Amino acid sequence: LDMGIENTYDVFPNITRIPNITCPTFILHGTRDCIVPFYHGKGLYEAMSANNRYLPFWAENMGHNNIEYDMGNLYIKKLQNFLLFLLKYPSKRKISPVSLVMGSEAGKRLSNTKNFERRLQRK
């Protein structure tokens, strides 16, 4: 039962956590998601600090599990654009976008971010 409010038993209390995020955040959500209603994604975007907002991807007429399949090319392009943005984002910590997506070990193996950027732009 979704009452539009967070309760103490919520295993995903994202709406209360998102104001604490201090890095660029990319939100994508299907507008016809019947598992996690679309207003949850919009609410997260609106609740986060304006400094951390990256242009969201509201996948029109998509549900919860079909965005990457039915909108594959656009989905990949949006992710690539976000990763390229992260490469140029000023940060106090040196974090590879590969680490963010695939874990720190993958980031260590692919430490040359210029090579990674070229790979992203080719796709």
CA distances from 112 to 41, 79, 87 (A): 33, 19, 11
Task: Compute the distance between CA of residue 33 and CA of residue 29 in angstroms, rounded to an integer.
Answer: 8
Task: Compute the distance between CA of residue 111 and CA of residue 38 in angstroms, rounded to an integer.
Answer: 37
20: part of which helix (H) or strand (E)? none
> pLDDT for 19-55, tens place per residue?
888 889 999 999 999 999 999 999 999 999 998 999 9
At residue 120, the pLDDT reads 62
Three-state DSSP at 90 gives: coil
> pLDDT for 71-90, tens place per residue?
999 999 999 999 999 888 77
- Contact by Cβ (8 Å): 96, 111: yes
57: part of which helix (H) or strand (E)? strand 57-59
Three-state DSSP at 23 gives: coil
Q: Work out the pLDDT band at 11, boundaries 50, 70, 90.
A: confident
- Contact by Cβ (8 Å): 47, 16: no
At residue 2, the pLDDT reads 55
At residue 98, the pLDDT reads 52
At residue 106, the pLDDT reads 46
